[in-house]
Amino acid sequence: MRVALLARVSSEEQVDGYSIDAQRRAFETLVKARGWTTYKEYIEEGKSARTENINKRPVFKEAIADALDRKYDILVIHKIDRFSRKLRITLEYFDKLGKAGGWLRLHR
CB-based contacts of 57: which residues, under 8 Å, 6+ apart? 44, 47, 49, 51
Between CA 79 and CA 74 the distance in angstroms is 15
Q: What is the pLDDT of residues 84-99, one digit of tens each?
A: 888 888 899 888 888 8
Confidence at residue 85, expressed as pLDDT on a 0 to 100 scale: 81
Q: What is the pLDDT of residues 19-53, one digit of tens each?
A: 889 899 999 999 999 999 999 999 988 766 566 67
Between CA 43 and CA 9 the distance in angstroms is 9
According to the CATH classification, is domain 2-106 in 3.20.20.70? no
| Domains in the chain: boundaries | 2-106
- What's the mean per-residue pLDDT of the chain? 83
State pTM to two decimals: 0.82
Q: What is the pLDDT of residues 45-84, one digit of tens each?
A: 876 656 667 788 899 999 999 999 999 988 998 888 888 8
Confidence at residue 99, expressed as pLDDT on a 0 to 100 scale: 80
Nearest to 23 by CA among 40, 2, 8, 45: 8
